[in-house]
A and B are shown apart, each in its own frame.
Chain A
Amino acid sequence: MVFLISLVFIAIIALEAPALVRNKKWRELAAFSVLLLIGMLYSYGQALDIPLPNPTKLILTIFEPVSLIIERLLS
């Protein structure tokens, strides 16, 4: 699985990065790299079962109280 993920990322870099470097699009390259890095983090993290920050948990913590208030208002 890790092997496949690595293949995919190498392919992505090979497809996009040379064009960006050749045309000197540094901002795009920076954004591309940051996005790719986060993607790598989450992909490898999942493949290797490393616990990662889950946005669902964050949203649950913030909005569950709100949802409970709404429930109480409407029953």
Chain B
Amino acid sequence: MVEHGKISSNQVSWMIISFLLGSSILLIPSAVASSARQDAWLSLILTIAAGQAVIYNYATLSMMFPGRTFVQYSREILGKYPGMLAGLTITWFSLHLGSLVVRNFGDLLSATVLPHTPMVVTDSIIIILVIMGTRMGVEVLARVNKLIIPFIVLLILLILVLGIPEMEFKRLLPVMESGIKPVIKGSLVVIGFPYAETVLFTMIIPFLNTPGKARKALVTGGLAGGALLFFIVIWTLLVLGPASTARFWFPVLEAVRVIDIFNIIQRIESIIIIAWIFLGFLKISVCFYSFVLGLAQLFNLKDYRPLVLPAGVLMLALSQLVYENYVEEAYFASKIWFPYAMVPGLILPLTMLAVAVIRELGSRKTEK
């Protein structure tokens, strides 16, 4: 339709990995540890399992309508007006999520490395890059991602290894001290953020050059991203301990600060911030792309590119006002996000899958 690029299933897997890591790497350890304390790693295991179900759900739905995005097939499944409402929900969700992630990164830079720079300046630079990338199309985004992110992941793993001397396994004890309920509470946070958000990939997988591999690519990426999140959370717990992890704004950053090898390798938190900026850029790009593509398809436009500039300004403006302060941000991300994100992430696609199956729509060769 409006996009002529083609992406490979490998690129999709890497995109979902960087999307999952995106802003979660900043906020997840703190959010989960405040509910589950030292059992946060158990929460992650639960989450990965549940997250696979979420991904499987919308991936199956998307594979029934190859070559069409969520906005396009929602009209067929639900009818003209409910379909438009569903498409609008996803489009709004991508705008909202994008502005929240921009805000997360603006907060990160303002709080850690650029305290005297107004947040709107750093956010503007990120948005300009996102606009440029989106304007060039999904193929460019996928390729840039595939080019950079493997190195970023390697870098993060390297930093995790460097932290091994600081680890103390007794920080994970006692296991399941308060029972299973806090573990479940913690896992809900991560199911909502980031797994439910990956539903935005329903706007991207139509451009696969091998549509039959969509679900496999997404599930593989979902597992890999989840595994990485698991390692990061357990690493943070081991290096900092559960109390500190729950307390800090960016516990991974604080944990990296602790690393000091022979007084030579120290203060390497700037490296991890650079890594995060790449991941954040990719996540914002996916959200932004999903937003403008969704808008273009909702209004039956021939091209989404003219919308890119005003949409960027809108996302930037929204990012400045969505939270008044950090407390609101932390509360929203850890408590409110899960029920909110489940609507477009699970409830909506599940409903549409059910309706599509009942009405016998779409191509049914779901197993390939």
Contacts and interface: CB of A to CB of B under 8 A. Distances in A.
Interface residues of B, number: 34
B310 A32 contact: yes
Contacts of A19: 306
A27 B185 CA distance: 46
Interface residues of A, number: 37
Contacts of A66: 339
Interface string A1-22: 0000000110010011001100
Contacts of A67: 335-336, 338-339
A46 B321 contact: yes
B336 A60 contact: yes
A12 B313 contact: yes
Given A36-B310, A36-B313, A56-B332, A63 B340 contact: yes
Contacts of B310: 12, 32, 35-36, 39
Contacts of A40: 313
A31 B299 contact: yes
B340 A42 contact: no
A48 interface: no
Closest 6 A/B residue pairs (Cβ):
A42-B317, A36-B310, A35-B310, A39-B313, A39-B314, A66-B339
Given A31-B301, A46-B320, 17 more contacts: A12-B310, A15-B309, A27-B302, A31-B306, A35-B310, A35-B311, A35-B314, A39-B311, A39-B313, A40-B313, A55-B96, A56-B332, A59-B336, A70-B185, A70-B188, A74-B184, A75-B185
